């Protein structure tokens, strides 16, 4: 399936979370929270957000942090991805 982002959207792959606590207790999938860290799969290059005229400082492959309830979950080619607005990106993990 082909997919094209519109306006100020970013396509993200959530990064896996650790399934054990520091003491070795296994956390079941149902009890785990969704990760707030992800890798950018696709971004529209050179897009200028309307509110401040600044260029977006992220690119494909960057690891980012975003809000817990940000975006919309989608399934593309059998993979769970997330579409968020560029303004919902909190920062880049270095």
pLDDT at 34 over 90: no
pLDDT tens column, 39-70: 999 887 655 555 555 556 788 899 999 988 88
Q: pTM of the prediction? A: 0.72
Residue 13 has a pLDDT of 93
User: What domains can you pick out in the chain, each with its CATH number?
Assistant: 9-92 (2.30.33.40)
Q: Give helix then strand counts, H and E, for the chain.
A: 0, 6
pLDDT digits (tens, 9 = 90+) for 67-85: 888 899 999 989 999 999 8
Helix, strand, coil % over all residues of the chain, rounded to 5: 5, 35, 55
Please indicate whether residue 89 or residue 34 has the higher confidence score (pLDDT): 89
């Amino acid at each position: 399936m082909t997919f094209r982002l519109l306006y100020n959207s970013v396509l993200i792959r959530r990064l896996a979370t650790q399934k054990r606590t520091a003491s070795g207790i296994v956390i079941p999938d149902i009890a785990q929270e969704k990760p707030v860290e992800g890798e950018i799969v696709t971004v529209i290059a050179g897009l200028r957000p309307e509110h401040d005229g600044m260029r977006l400082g992220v690119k494909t492959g960057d690891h980012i942090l975003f809000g817990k309830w940000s975006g919309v979950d989608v399934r593309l080619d059998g993979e769970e991805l997330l579409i968020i607005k560029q303004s919902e990106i909190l920062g880049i993990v270095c």
